[in-house]
Amino acid sequence: MNNITKTLLFFISFIIVPPGFCTDFYNRNEGDYIIKNFRFNDGNTVKNLKIHYVTLGNPKGKPVLILHGTTGDGNSMLNDSFGHALFDKGKPLDAEKYFIILPDAIGTGKSSKPSDELKGNFPHYDYGDMVNAQYQLLKNGLGINHLELIIGNSMGGMNTWLWITKYPDYMTAAIPMAATPAPMSSRNWIMRKMLINSIKEDPDWNNGFYTKQPEKFQTVYHYYDIATNGGDIAWQNKAYNTAKTEEILSDKLKERVSMDANDFLYQWDAARNFDPTQDLTKIKAFILVINSEDDERNPPNTGVMQKALKDIVAAKYYLIPASNKTSGHSTTMNANFWIEELKIFLKEIETYY
């Protein structure tokens, strides 16, 4: 961390956020790191790959990496129930004591993505590419040689599983959430594949070189969101009869998605080869796994998580009980459900060292 200021000056296009924009986070900044000749796992190369990021807090504090979910970005983690619950003064990861890094993964936010220029010619990145770029940002861009903690949610949780298996000595601890360290398969992949195929079958798709956004994208987006988010109990409580259900559906279908179809498709497809199972024994970090009992994409009753935990030396598993307050796969984005577990985990790490 000693050379971070020097590194920022030489390697980063550093941008101070204008006053009034999220200024309630301590020492909030944004920047871009350009990776020259980045080679993707599909064999393609991008001459200048841009990785955008947000930082909060004390540059001399313990570094913490926060990884967002699909269709999100670093800023999406800075809401009341996650960012403020964790990073505000007096909170478990108080930004005055920690240095928080929130990158936009490849293909998301302000990082390089298909809609920037290449469209259907953009390399078909995967989660391994995302993690590789994040590592280069931290190591070469920000001069960080070791992380105190990684927290990732959903796609970010799967990225976290890759981080702790690919770079096992790089972090002290990690918290993968709403993610299972198993092959992308079963209903989770079937739903994603149906979503991807529906967009590709749209007459306007044109192999990703469309002149107007494929209309099917609007419907399949809402279909996937309803099918894999929300939680059974919460859905039953709000859609308690046919009339109310149809009212909710009608309102939902009126919402227009502003996201680019290529960007959307690429992000979901990036999970196609996710499978860290063979490398779980390499993990050296302290692990706190957090999932929700009503997670539609990672159902705990399959026993997949319990089986994986047997291969990890220092892992704890916290399963949030389903209730009328949880929201299925989205539950973990509300830190209030697991913040006490985080406090205990951080104290245990501190005691160990």
Q: Is 115 known to be catalytic?
A: no
Ramachandran category for residue 3: left, alpha or beta (phi over 0 → left; psi -120 to 50 → alpha): alpha
Helix or strand run (H / E) with residue 85: helix 85-87
Query: What would the two tokens of residue 11 be?
Result: 């390697």
**Looking at residue 217, what is its pLDDT?**
86
**Looking at residue 22, what is its pLDDT?**
46
Rounded alpha-carbon distances, angstroms, from residue 175 to 233, 287, 316, 345: 26, 6, 10, 10
Catalytic residue among 52, 68, 124, 329: 329
Catalytic residue among 76, 111, 112, 154: 154
Q: Is 329 known to be catalytic?
A: yes
Answer whether 0.85 is exceeded by the pTM. Answer: yes
**Looking at residue 16, what is its pLDDT?**
40
The model's pLDDT over 26-44, given as tens digits with 9 standing for 90+, comes to 999 999 999 999 999 999 9
CB distance 105 to 136 below 8 Å: no
Q: Can you say how many angstroms the Cα of residue 25 is from the centroid of all Cα atoms in its chain? A: 20
Separation CA 14–CA 52 (nearest Å)? 10
Q: Can you give the pLDDT of all 353 residues of the chain as single tens digits?
A: 544 443 433 333 333 443 333 448 999 999 999 999 999 999 999 999 999 999 999 999 999 999 999 999 999 999 999 999 999 999 999 999 999 999 999 999 999 999 999 999 999 999 999 999 999 999 999 999 999 999 999 999 999 999 999 999 999 999 999 999 999 999 999 999 999 999 999 999 999 999 999 988 888 889 999 999 999 999 999 999 999 999 999 999 999 888 999 999 999 999 999 999 999 999 999 999 999 999 999 999 999 999 999 999 899 999 999 999 999 999 999 999 999 999 999 999 998 87
Separation CA 347–CA 42 (nearest Å)? 42
**Looking at residue 257, what is its pLDDT?**
86
Q: Is 154 known to be catalytic?
A: yes
Catalytic residue among 73, 129, 263, 295: 295
Separation CA 99–CA 24 (nearest Å)? 16
The model's pLDDT over 193-205, given as tens digits with 9 standing for 90+, comes to 999 999 999 999 9
